[in-house]
Amino acid sequence: MSFARLRARLRSGTSATRLVIVFSALVVATAVAAPLASGAGEGSLLKGGNRNPAGGDAFSRETKIVVSSSGYGTRQSNLGSGSGAIYGCRAPAGGRGCVEASNLSDGAAFRFRFDGLLGGSITTSSKDAAKAAPFVTNATAVAKGLNADRVDGKDADELLDEAASRTKAAVVTAAGELHALRGVTSSAREEAGKYLVTFDADVSRCVPQVTAFGSGPGANAAVDLVEGKPAELRVFTQTGAGGQADLRFAITVSC
């Protein structure tokens, strides 16, 4: 129907007829205008393959997707060779962070699965990366499968054994006999109050400590390196009166 014929019908028709036609025109105009407003801003439809909202604006409220289901609420997938999702934000230090998973029941809050040899990485762009912690937790139970007792590929027992191997110790009798040894291969009395102690490795850069026993208060001992023999130490013992004498002593070397 042409515009002229429509105008003639309006002039000749009843008021009710004119009202119906005007209302119909308003409905058509609204239907046409609604798609044009989609994706324009708050309350609009999300448009696939485009920036939402369009034009560089930003939503001022949360975009909520609420689902009542026994499965996942949303799913994001990439059928190509790219990744599934990326989340960015400008949260300040001490803020809530960019991603939060809160389970309001008593189940797990997250789960990660992968098929490769590396599950993922946590990296920092901080200029002071040496002080940046990858995460914090208030949980104190053991994380199953995390190998938390391993350092540089060694478990706790191996680390203790290694620490013990760097500490060498022995007790030597007044006659020069070796007892309660660890890392010490031999000992010998050279003369009165003078002993030679031989270790299983170089101890020239280690810290020795020797303690004499017996012959009254003030008994003491001193230790010295043997020139040209880095695995040997010489021990001198003396009584409290200051005279060199045969005394039982304990020697410890920390490397």
How do residues 125-137 score in pLDDT, each as one tens digit?
888 888 898 888 8
Please list the alpha-helical segments (H only) found in 52-139.
none
Residue 100 lies inside a defined structural domain of this protein: no
Residue 135 lies inside a defined structural domain of this protein: no
pTM, two decimal places: 0.45
Residue 63 lies inside a defined structural domain of this protein: yes
Q: Name 168's bridge partners.
A: 253
- Residues 43, 60 contacting (CB under 8 angstroms): no
Using CA atoms, how far apart are residues 253 and 209, in angstroms rounded to an integer?
6
Using CA atoms, how far apart are residues 57 and 224, in angstroms rounded to an integer?
79
Q: Which of 52, 33, 50, 34 lies closest to 42 in space, CA to CA?
A: 52
Q: How far is CA 159 from the centre of its chain?
A: 21
- Residues 201, 195 contacting (CB under 8 angstroms): no
Number of compact structural domains in the chain:
2
Domain C-terminal end among 37, 67, 97: 67
Using CA atoms, how far apart are residues 135 and 140, in angstroms rounded to an integer?
14
Q: 114-132: string of b/e by CB count within 10 Å (b at 16+)?
A: eeeeeeeeeeeeeeeeeee
Domain C-terminal end among 48, 67, 86: 67
Residue 129 lies inside a defined structural domain of this protein: no
Residue 111 lies inside a defined structural domain of this protein: no
Domain C-terminal end among 21, 41, 67: 67
Domain that holds residue 227: 166-254
How do residues 139-192 score in pLDDT, each as one tens digit?
888 777 776 566 666 666 776 666 666 789 999 999 999 987 889 999 999 999
